[in-house]
Structure 1
Amino acid sequence: MNIPAAPLSKPVLFFIIPSLKGGGAERVIISLANYFNKNNFQSVLISLNNDIPAYEIDNDVKVYYLTDRQKSRFVDRVYHITETFYKLIKLSRTLKPVCTLSFITSANIWSGITCSLTRVPYIVSERTSPDRSVNSFTYWHKHLALFLYKRAAAVVVSAKGVEDCLLKDKDFKSLSNIDRITNAVTIFQPASDEKVHNRRFILGVGRLAYVKGFDILIDAYAKTGLEDIDLIVVGDGEERATLVEQIAKLGLKDRVLLPGSRNNLQNYYSQAEIYVLPSRNEGYPNALVEAMSFGCPSVAFDCNFGPAEIIANNENGILVNNGSVKGLSDAIARLASDQVLRDELGSKARIISQTNHPDKILGEWEALIKKHAATSAITAQIASSQPAL
């Protein structure tokens, strides 16, 4: 890790996340780093783990990987903790950030510890259900997180459900520094006319992980009995082999396709008959927002959290009781056979391109960081800059 010998010329912002290898949180933090780097800041993107980035990072954004966690022995974990702590402190003391923004609980804790020691304002963000993270921590781990979250300039959540879940915990209900900023619509290159599939298809997009529920989607698709429309799930992850086995057992190898990750999602969204979000839980699902922005009629489980804040049931999409295979199957079959309904839902879904436009969402992040960036002189310098969207 090559750290400059002196502070950088522009006000520095740190963006810290556990990994850059893929997912909604990674996409959002990279887009923020790219945005602020164009607006009189020097963005420094810090990944706690050494992974290949899944999304494009602008050339001028400085990227640091702190450690390579390949082994799980106790002595290796101690080494990785020591290495992470040392490198974060060194980066902070050398580059002197005016503010640090971190995503996901483990990065939030590292950011809070480092910034408390180096006296840098910091903002943390919970990106998924707190019941899967801070609310489930052991006593000492939870109270460390609570201490650091209370000291943060802000605790940002992407959905009201995430905020409500965090505050329902008796320890975290005293937090008074929560801000809610939803995710912006991803701006893709224009869709092309090149066909991604030679038949009608239903689309799922996301990491092939248990929490994303693609096993439920495959079961629901099988129960529809539809023969004139295929299912394509774009993405990769640790559940691929399990899903391939499930597809084979159901006799759907020619009808359910797992093409892996793709860099032309705009073509899939624009050509799909239906988009389905079968997640067991979420934070604020980027892929659902993306699909709707293309006018793709969408079905989603009413899971924690996000879909119910995005979809008004039977107006701009369809919400299904969380985890109901039959409910999901019925909704897919209903949409697949009703072109008028698909057109109506898709037309209203496009409005999300305005409500979640990047100008609006990035502007909210910019206002938050300007409010908390260190020193009045730097704040004045930032405030005088003109955004370069």
Structure 2
Amino acid sequence: MKKKVLIIGPCLSMGGMERAAVNTANSIEDSNIEVVFVAMFKKDHFFSLNTAIKLWEPEGLNASSLSFIKTIRWIRLLVKMEKPDTILAFNKFYAALTAFALFGIKIPFFISERSSPLFVWKQPFKTINRLAFWLKPPTGVIAQTSIAASYQRKYFKKSKIKVIPNILRPIMLFPEIERKDIILAVGRLGDHLKGFDLLIESFSLLKNKSWELHIAGGDENGQELKELATKLGVLERINFLGKVQNIDKVYASAGIYVIPSRSEGFPNALAEAMGAGCCCVAFDFIAGPRDMIEHNSSGIIVENANTKEMASAIDELIDNPVRRGQLGQQASKIVDRLNPTIISGEIIEFLELK
């Protein structure tokens, strides 16, 4: 008889957590496991679930904001209808709602925690989370990085903790596309933690003024970033690409990929860029780069938020195309480490679905 898992995620629209939830659902669904996906919000689909996966989206609920009590009731109703063997909730707050919904129901549930270890929930969410996990501690928590795991062990003292990185989706390679004199970054423009202001500052400090900076992702206008670029005299050399459907072609043409974040839960775009064979440079932020990049072998890690060091590292790579190629070739091996079969196997074992 098939085991059934209920996966609770945000929605199927664009975003790192959304991508991770969908990738997980698609990868663990097979002939022996039935997957039911519960989305907290109904939004336009950017990602697709396998056809065998049942999708529940709220109708007339959470249209503009999340309704706390109604969402708990809705989750509880779906749990009783679907009767899953286990539940996996993405994000601590969605997991807290799940914990409330499962009060008195003996079904094991797990959390895939997505936030940076440095992220602090504001009130009343902080209290809600604490109360929920006091009433119903999760059976286990998946941490994305070793640093995150150390934080989760302090928070979830009654739960088992395991480091399982994100699944890396299949990357389309375009060997016919030549890499150009382009520095690429990917992420939401309006998110301060993405550090695009630091990247623009680093870009303005480059000795080599011939390369362009391309920033892909999001629908935001990025007006503050454009004003900063104007102030630093580099706006004419920056291309804001907006939301990109075929990001793999963009990776294929990038000469250097930079992730300038202040913090991350797990930098999906860095994993994708590495998988695409990009020469990557990262600030040493919490958490992710040191779990993914071997410094000076599969990429470059510079002191966190040190824009001068970042500029110097980029200048050195610009002057050394052979070095860029070597780093990109080593980076591409991440596809073996984050292979869907390997990672999904670890998740299935941790969720006790074997």
TM above 0.5, yes or no, is yes
Q: 2:103 aligns with which of 102, 109, 116?
A: 116
1:65 corresponds in structure 2 to 57
Alignment CA distance shift 1:274-1:191 (3 Å) = same
In the TM superposition, what is the alpha-carbon distance from 1:27 to its structure 2 partner?
1.0
In the TM superposition, what is the alpha-carbon distance from 1:248 to its structure 2 partner?
3.5
- 1:130-154 CA-partner distances (Å, limit 9, x unpaired): 33146987774353254267x3221
1:34 corresponds in structure 2 to 26
Paired residue secondary structure (2:5): strand
The one-letter amino acid paired with 1:122 is: F
1:89 corresponds in structure 2 to 76
Distance (whole Å) between structure 1 residues aligned to residue 276 and residue 198 of structure 2: 24
Distance (whole Å) between structure 1 residues aligned to residue 274 and residue 215 of structure 2: 17
In the TM superposition, what is the alpha-carbon distance from 1:53 to its structure 2 partner?
3.0
1:317 corresponds in structure 2 to 299
1:284 corresponds in structure 2 to 266
| Kept after mapping to 2: 8 A contact 1:20/1:47 | yes
Q: TM-score, normalised by structure 2?
A: 0.90
| Kept after mapping to 1: 8 A contact 2:7/2:37 | yes
The ranges of structure 1 where at least 4 consecutive aligned residues each deviate by more than 6 angstroms after the TM superposition are: 135-139
Distance (whole Å) between structure 2 residues aligned to residue 324 and residue 352 of structure 1: 26
2:340 corresponds in structure 1 to 358
Distance (whole Å) between structure 2 residues aligned to residue 112 and residue 69 of structure 1: 22
Residue pairs, 1:164-313, within 5 angstroms: 164-167=150-153, 169=154, 172=155, 174-191=157-174, 193=176, 200-208=181-189, 209-236=191-218, 238=220, 240-313=222-295
- 1:167-199 CA-partner distances (Å, limit 9, x unpaired): 4x5xx273451111012222033437468x9x5
| Kept after mapping to 2: 8 A contact 1:92/1:118 | no
2:308 corresponds in structure 1 to 326
| Kept after mapping to 1: 8 A contact 2:266/2:288 | yes
Any gaps of 5 or more consecutive residues in structure 1?
Answer: 1-8, 72-76, 374-382, 384-389
| Kept after mapping to 1: 8 A contact 2:206/2:312 | yes
In the TM superposition, what is the alpha-carbon distance from 1:203 to its structure 2 partner?
0.8
The one-letter amino acid paired with 1:207 is: R
Alignment length, in residue pairs?
Answer: 351
Q: 2:15 aligns with which of 8, 13, 23?
A: 23
Paired residue secondary structure (1:132): coil
| Kept after mapping to 2: 8 A contact 1:105/1:134 | no
In the TM superposition, what is the alpha-carbon distance from 1:244 to its structure 2 partner?
3.0
Alignment CA distance shift 1:290-1:282 (3 Å) = same
Distance (whole Å) between structure 2 residues aligned to residue 328 and residue 54 of structure 1: 33
Paired residue secondary structure (1:116): coil
Distance (whole Å) between structure 1 residues aligned to residue 222 and residue 340 of structure 2: 32
Alignment CA distance shift 1:242-1:135 (3 Å) = closer
Alignment CA distance shift 1:86-1:192 (3 Å) = farther
Paired residue secondary structure (2:40): strand
Distance (whole Å) between structure 1 residues aligned to residue 280 and residue 323 of structure 2: 11
Q: Which stretch has the larger CA shift, 112-121 or 136-145?
A: 136-145
Paired residue secondary structure (1:119): coil
Q: Is residue 125 of structure 1 aligned with residue 112 of structure 2?
A: yes
More helix by share: 1
Aligned sequence identity (%): 29
Paired residue secondary structure (1:346): helix
Alignment CA distance shift 1:135-1:162 (3 Å) = farther
Paired residue secondary structure (1:13): strand
Q: Which stretch has the larger CA shift, 46-55 or 93-102?
A: 46-55
Q: 1:337 aligns with which of 312, 319, 334?
A: 319
Q: CA RMSD in A?
A: 2.5
Alignment CA distance shift 1:173-1:85 (3 Å) = closer
Distance (whole Å) between structure 1 residues aligned to residue 329 and residue 17 of structure 2: 27
